[in-house]
Amino acid sequence: MGPGANGRDVQLTRPVGGAVSQREPLSRAGVSDLRTSERYLRAAVADLIERNFRDPDFSVEVIARQLHVSRRHLYRVLAGSPTSLAEMIAERRLEWARRLLTGPGNLKLEAIAHASGFASTATMRNRFRAKYGMTPDEYRRAAAATKAEAS
């Protein structure tokens, strides 16, 4: 209890900030609010990844800071996802790199790594090999051969 605005003692039923204490049962509205909040966070995370994955400094910490939540809360909300938040960022970068590898212009790997948000060409190469089972150069040659056969 503490003094209220009118000088009388006031007992808070919820902690300041709207957080739900462990002793307080959730009402139906509380459960709905939490689910809405989780859906919002998931959508906001996906949007931030889509808009920022090309930035090599973009990370889980940046997402948490931009959404004004802790990293722990982000991980808790995304706990049911098949991939971690860092993996989601890396996957989006890999998809972009793959598109650039097969696109026009025959860009150098260094330019593709930079344009995809990887800190280095080696990082991109290692992650690419782990995901696709071949190096970016091998992938590019295989895609070119497939395209030539189709013509």
81-95 confidence digits (pLDDT tens): 899 999 999 999 999
**pLDDT at site 18:** 41
* Mean pLDDT of the chain, nearest integer: 82
Q: How many other β-carbons are positioned within 10 Å of the β-carbon of residue 99?
A: 11
What is the DSSP code (8-state) at residue 26?
P
* Rg, Å, the chain Cα set: 23
Question: Is pTM beyond 0.85 here?
Answer: no
The answer to whether residue 27 scores a pLDDT higher than 50 is no
Looking at residue 34, what is its pLDDT? 53
Q: Is 44 exposed, middle or buried (0-12, 13-18, 19+ CB in 10 A)?
A: middle
Give percent above pLDDT 70 in the chain. 76
The 10s digit of each residue's pLDDT in 94-126 is 999 999 999 888 899 999 999 999 999 999 999
Is the pLDDT at 30 greater than 60? The verdict is no
CATH of 27-150, one of 3.90.79.10, 3.20.20.80, 1.10.10.10, 1.10.10.60: 1.10.10.60
Tell me the average pLDDT across 42-48. Answer: 95
* Domain extents in the chain: 27-150
Cβ atoms of 116 and 96 within 8 Å: the answer is yes
Confidence of residue 36 (pLDDT cuts 50, 70, 90): low
pLDDT value at position 33?
A: 57
